[in-house]
Amino acid sequence: MSALKFIALSGTTGVTQNLYLYEYENDLIIVDCGVGFPESDMYGVDLVIPDFTYLRENAGKIKAILISHGHEDHLGALPFLLKEIKAPIYSTRLVAGFIEEKFLDYGVRNMKVNVFDPERDVLTFGSFRVTPFRVSHSVPDGVGFAIDTPEGRVFHIADYKFDWTPVDGRPFDVGKVSALASEEVLAVASDCIGATTPGYTESEREIEGKIEEIAAHAKRQIFLTTISSNISRMQQALNVAGRAGRKAVFIGRSIERKAEIARTLGYLHYPRELMTNPKQARKLPVDGLMYIISGSYGQPGSALYRLALKEHDFLSLQEGDVVIFSSDPAPPGSKANVDFVVDKLIEANADVHYYDMQEDLHVSGHGSQKDIEMLFALLKPKYFIPIGGTIRHMRAYSLIAQKMGAKAGDVFELTPGQVVEFRGKSAKIAGKIPVKDVLVDGLGIGDVGNVVLRDRQTLAKDGIAIVLLTLDRIQGKLTSDPEVISRGFVYEGKNKRLLTVSGSLLSKELARKPKLDAKIARDATIEFLERYFFESTGRRPMILPVVVEV
């Protein structure tokens, strides 16, 4: 008997790397295909992407890839997926613009994104009929999907909040959702990351007044930074600049490119004469400028970072300049970078408005507890699947559903790879597809795994000691004292003696063995030096014996 399968290939326990599958007989559709970011102990790793094994094995079934909105953790892994399978991509216009820009970066050719209109289009893919609808989030043009399946209607709503006054004037399409929900709703898979935050999430609109207030008091240049996908925030900054009689300048490649895409596609509006360029800007009075600059996470090398460190090619920061961070320091590790940049800006006597000041210069893009309750009240689904959060967010989401009458068993808190099977209006966990995180490091995709990472962790902590052993194969003896070279272990300038002594002691130790061969010499070296170095330094460097047989 056939069944609908919902597969959380990844994205339920780590916030990012969103990738969900709907499968029915020979039809499979993918919703979102995002990247993740390395944990702090994944040294050297650039990106984490989902495991595409299952998709490769079922490539023939894949009818469509739907993308919900323009954030990296929902679309960033597309170039990697498209190396493995071919399938048509569907999104709204702005999201398509962002995806095609990404394809340029990765050299993906001949892939056009199919643009749908969430006001009127309905898409059919084999057994699935998909009706998109507008949601509000911190990037414009996001959508949710009502997915009609042979087992019933499922709502898939990735990152969203209920913002009735969004900057782009297009709020969550609650009317359409109500109409779609008037038929029985089998299940909802929706964003859970706000489930631990009380109340409703504030509207993006609130921020514009705060920026305006700061601009009103500014007597010099203003630098406003936000993440490059936050087109609405850019729009607000441009609105403020216009009213304040300031000219605006985009600074930084990511901001410039995203703004250009948004403007061309009609998502960012401003009169031509509002903008100027850095060269013209020099001729304008310092109280007549607003820069919209990239680097809101304090990324080393970003435009704002270089400005703060007085390393920027053509911009310079003066005493009394105003810097506005209009974003949270969100990704792991970024708080330290933001703090560093803020400190440098303050040292240069800029007037800095940042997260610590609690001036409400940023609001979350994710619905909080009350938004989640409202969604559940609208949809009245039979089953619930929290996505886009972590274990603690899934549990908090489940408690909200239970408070509203669901049974604990109606909520599926999935770990990556887990499958929910819907059959005859009832749902159950039906196994788990084996998946692992795939690490991208430089040009390598998936070749860095536990072995390499464990080595990097050992090397990072205590470095390495390389031991050169010259072995007379026939005699079974060393021909000379082992030579010990280290990196990242001790400062050789000061500790040369430690290494020399370790070589002679090791030599004596090895001389006790009746007859050495390469393996015996290696094992004994590791055993002896691990103990010796730990006793004399308290450290455990990696010991790497290299045997030369003569």
Of the pair 377, 460, the CB lying nearest a copy of itself is at: 460
Amino acid at 388: G
Site for a copy of itself in 519-548 (CB under 8 A): 536-539, 542, 544, 546, 548
Indicate whether 182 belongs to the interface with a copy of itself (CB under 8 A). no
Residue closest to 28 by CA, chosen among 87, 68, 100: 87
Indicate whether 460 belongs to the interface with a copy of itself (CB under 8 A). yes
Of the pair 99, 411, the CB lying nearest a copy of itself is at: 411
Helix (H) or strand (E) holding 457: helix 450-462
Indicate whether 442 belongs to the interface with a copy of itself (CB under 8 A). yes
Query: Which span (175-183, 270-278, 373-381, 482-490) binds a copy of itself, by CB under 8 A?
Result: 482-490
Work out the burial of residue 358: count CB atoms within 10 Å of its CB; fewer than 13 is exposed, 13-18 middle, 19 or more buried: exposed
Per-residue three-class SS string for 378-413: HHCCCEEEEECCCHHHHHHHHHHHHHCCCCHHHECC
Among 244, 374, 433, 452, binds a copy of itself (CB under 8 A): 452
Of the pair 114, 334, the CB lying nearest a copy of itself is at: 334
User: Which CA distances in Å does 210 have to 207, 359, 362?
Assistant: 5, 7, 10
Among 25, 57, 119, 455, binds a copy of itself (CB under 8 A): 455
Kindly state the tokens that stand for 281.
Answer: 């800007």
Task: Output the CA torsion 364→367→369→370 (10° steps).
Answer: 120
Indicate whether 357 belongs to the interface with a copy of itself (CB under 8 A). yes
Using CB under 8 A as the criterion, what x/- string covers residues 42-81 for binding a copy of itself? -xx-------------------------------------
Indicate whether 339 belongs to the interface with a copy of itself (CB under 8 A). yes
Query: Bridge partners of 188?
Result: 155, 384
Of the pair 40, 182, the CB lying nearest a copy of itself is at: 40
Among 102, 263, 370, 456, binds a copy of itself (CB under 8 A): 456
Work out the burial of residue 288: count CB atoms within 10 Å of its CB; fewer than 13 is exposed, 13-18 middle, 19 or more buried: middle
Indicate whether 346 belongs to the interface with a copy of itself (CB under 8 A). yes
Of the pair 175, 442, the CB lying nearest a copy of itself is at: 442
Helix (H) or strand (E) holding 190: strand 185-191
* 429, 420 Cβ separation under 8 angstroms: yes
Residue 65 has a CB neighbour count (10 Å cut-off) of 25
User: Which CA distances in Å does 239 have to 206, 246, 249?
Assistant: 13, 10, 13
How near is the Cβ of 397 to a copy of itself at its closest, in Å?
12
Residue closest to 414 by CA, chosen among 384, 374, 376, 382: 384
Among 487, 496, 508, 531, binds a copy of itself (CB under 8 A): 487
Q: What is the torsional sign of CA 313, 318, 321, 327?
A: positive
Query: Which span (152-160, 221-229, 257-265, 452-460) binds a copy of itself, by CB under 8 A?
Result: 452-460
Residue reference for tokens 């990012």: 16
Residue closest to 390 by CA, chosen among 199, 194, 197, 202: 194
Among 466, 505, 518, 526, binds a copy of itself (CB under 8 A): 466
Indicate whether 336 belongs to the interface with a copy of itself (CB under 8 A). yes
CA pair distance 371, 404, nearest whole angstrom: 13
Query: Which span (76-84, 177-185, 232-240, 344-352) binds a copy of itself, by CB under 8 A?
Result: 344-352
Task: Output the CA torsion 328→330→335→341 (10° steps).
Answer: -50
Indicate whether 493 belongs to the interface with a copy of itself (CB under 8 A). yes
How near is the Cβ of 423 to a copy of itself at its closest, in Å?
27
Indicate whether 342 belongs to the interface with a copy of itself (CB under 8 A). yes
Kindly state the tokens that stand for 425.
Answer: 């209006």
Query: Which span (79-87, 106-114, 360-368, 384-392) binds a copy of itself, by CB under 8 A?
Result: 384-392
Of the pair 286, 445, the CB lying nearest a copy of itself is at: 445
Indicate whether 476 belongs to the interface with a copy of itself (CB under 8 A). no
Indicate whether 457 belongs to the interface with a copy of itself (CB under 8 A). yes
Indicate whether 363 belongs to the interface with a copy of itself (CB under 8 A). no
Instruction: Note the residues at the interface with a copy of itself (CB under 8 A).
Output: 13, 39-40, 43-44, 196-198, 332-333, 336, 339, 342-343, 346-347, 352, 354, 356-358, 390-392, 395, 441-444, 447-449, 451-453, 455-464, 466, 468, 470, 485, 487-491, 493-495, 536-539, 542, 544, 546, 548, 550
